[in-house]
Structure 1
Amino acid sequence: MKYTRIDVKNKKRSNGHNNNNNNDGKSFILLFIGVIVVALVISTAMSKFIWPEGKKTAEKERIEATSGENKETSEKDKENNKASKEDEKPKDNKVMAESVGGQEYVMIQCGFYSNKENANNVKAQLEDDYIAVSLSEAENYRVIVHIGNEEEATKLSNELNEKGVSNTKGRFMIPKTDVCSNEIIEIVNGYVNIINKLKEDSVKGVKTTEFKEWVNSLEEHSDSEYFKVFKELKGGINKIPDEITKKNIEESYQIVFNTLNNFKVNK
């Protein structure tokens, strides 16, 4: 019979070596876990030290408060811009006058030119049948033949159309909002009556002394939104001669137009 020899010593040595390897692996894992735990503890402690809870809360409240203020400011800016835009819109004097009462004036215009010579040429063509004048506005010139009420303006416009003369209507409306605006209406009405009188063939001149004295006797209302217009109109009338002739019609219409142009009706 054959016998197999078993090396008991070598087997024991081999088992001992494997046990040592297992122990080393377990130690490494435990060490790794320990390092992670220590790192977490240290990071937590440091975060509390660097940014305490109270500071976090205070900073959060500050950010929220700032955000709220910015939002509120933004809303106010929007409202202010909206109000500003509303203020920038042109006033519809016709709507205003219709709501509070007012006086309408109609102007018959036969041309609008940037060149004064062209305006004078058209004016000369009309002078055989009408008293036409050239009114300056900024760097432009308007050739007109009438400023007055709707009925007179429509009659004259139809007459011009029949003669093949192109014309348009310009409208103005002075609202009766206060004493000052009413005084402007009365002054314009009086001045237009003087101009119409001068346009009559038989009239050579009209004295204006009493008219100017009356204008200067009117009470001034500096708190009115139309006070500046009133002062400019009053100043223009005080510059006209004590007696005006047909040569002063253009100057007189210019004063009236400068006043009415503040009350132009938006189309």
Structure 2
Amino acid sequence: MRYTRYNYKKKNNNLLKLLIIIMVFLVVAFVASKGLEGVLKRELTGKEKEETQEVDGKKSTESNSGLTFWIIQGGFYSKKENAEAVNNQLRSKYNSFIVEDGDKFRVIIDIIRKDQGDIFIKSLTEQGISFVKSEINIDYKDSASEQLGNSIDALMQHHERLKENDVASINTAELKKWSGEIKLPEGENPHKEDLAAINVFIQGLPEDLTKASQEDLSRFIYNMVVKYKI
């Protein structure tokens, strides 16, 4: 879409003079602010660029790099039939599924990105659906953790596309090629096993991923990210 710029036409000389005065004032104010900005920058020289925050009396570095999800749980039950009853109600609107936790059963409404979470939660609240939110964070501390985040994000992209009404299937050839080229970290690394497991899962996906595969994909993502719950 092309956007046209609105061209303001000069009405008379008095208006022109007023505009010139305003422009001069703005230029002076801009120069003054730049001078103050320079002073502030010099004051900050030598300080750490990353922000810190107090957590339980200790300073921790706040990093913008990483991957954050929300797991939205719709119930936690001791009897499977109760979990199935709730899940059946939710599945009419959401991609909910059941995961076993020991001898208990969790109904997971969905796994969503944090930036989409507020809208999703608002929708649940307006419908009177009870839920519990858990935050998942994968910190990019090194290349292996970043690659883990990228791999999970790749699966999440397919997870999200399958939710779209006009998407019947997704060809997985490109995803498999991409995953197959990932090099596992050498030596001992806490993410090495997870990276290998994701690659095995991706290589085992059908040629075309359909909505019938949504639950298996969701459950795999859940089992992979739940260990990173904050």
Q: TM-score, normalised by structure 2?
A: 0.68
Structure 1 equivalent of residue 11 of structure 2: none
Q: Could you say which structure has the higher strand fraction? A: 2
2:215 equivalent to 1:239: no
2:123 to 155, 159, 166: 159
Q: CA separation in 2, counterparts of 1:120 and 1:202?
A: 28
Q: Does 1:195 align with 2:159?
A: yes
> SS at the partner of 2:137?
strand
How many Å separate the matches in 2 of 1:248 and 1:102?
A: 27
- Report matched runs for 1:73-84 at 5 Å: none
Identity rate of aligned residues, in percent? Answer: 26
Matches within 5 A, 1:1-267: 98=62, 101-223=65-187, 224-265=189-230
Instruction: Give the secondary structure class of the aligned counterpart of 1:120.
Output: helix
Shift of 1:149: 1.7
Give the helix-richer structure, 1 or 2: 1
Structure 2 residue matching 1:130: 3-state secondary structure: coil
Give 1:203 deviation, angstroms. 1.4
Question: Higher Cα Rg: structure 1 or 2?
Answer: 1
CA distance in 1, matches of 2:171, 2:116: 25
Q: Distance in 1 between matches of 2:61 and 2:109?
A: 25
Gaps of 5+ in 1: 1-94
Amino acid at match of 1:228: E
Evaluate the alpha carbon distance shift between residue 236 and residue 114 of structure 1 in structure 2; reply closer, same or farther with a 3 A threshold. farther
Q: TM-score under structure 1 normalisation?
A: 0.59
- Structure-2 separation of matches of 1:155 and 1:144: 17
Return the alpha-carbon distance in structure 2 between the equivalents of residues 140 and 249 of structure 1.
23
Hey, what's the Cα distance between the residues in 1 that align with 2:78 and 2:111? 21
Question: Secondary structure, in 3 states, of the residue corresponding to 1:219?
Answer: coil
Q: How far off its partner does 1:97 sit?
A: 8.4
- 5+ residue gaps, structure 2: 1-58
Given that residues 135 and 144 in structure 1 are in contact (C-alpha distance below 8 angstroms), is that contact kept between their aligned partners in structure 2?
Answer: yes
Once structures 1 and 2 are overlaid, which stretch shifts more, 166-175 or 226-235? Answer: 226-235
Contact 2:95–2:215 (8 Å) recurs in 1: no
Query: Secondary structure of the residue that 2:72 maps to in structure 1?
Result: strand
CA shift digits 1:42-95 (9 cap, x unpaired)? xxxxxxxxxxxxxxxxxxxxxxxxxxxxxxxxxxxxxxxxxxxxxxxxxxxxx9
What value does the CA root-mean-square deviation take over the aligned residues?
2.1
| Pairwise CA distance, 1:228 | 1.4
Looking at structure 2, the residues matched to 97 and 144 of structure 1 have their Cα atoms a distance apart, in angstroms, of 32
Match of 1:25 in 2: none
Question: What residue number does 1:71 align with?
Answer: none
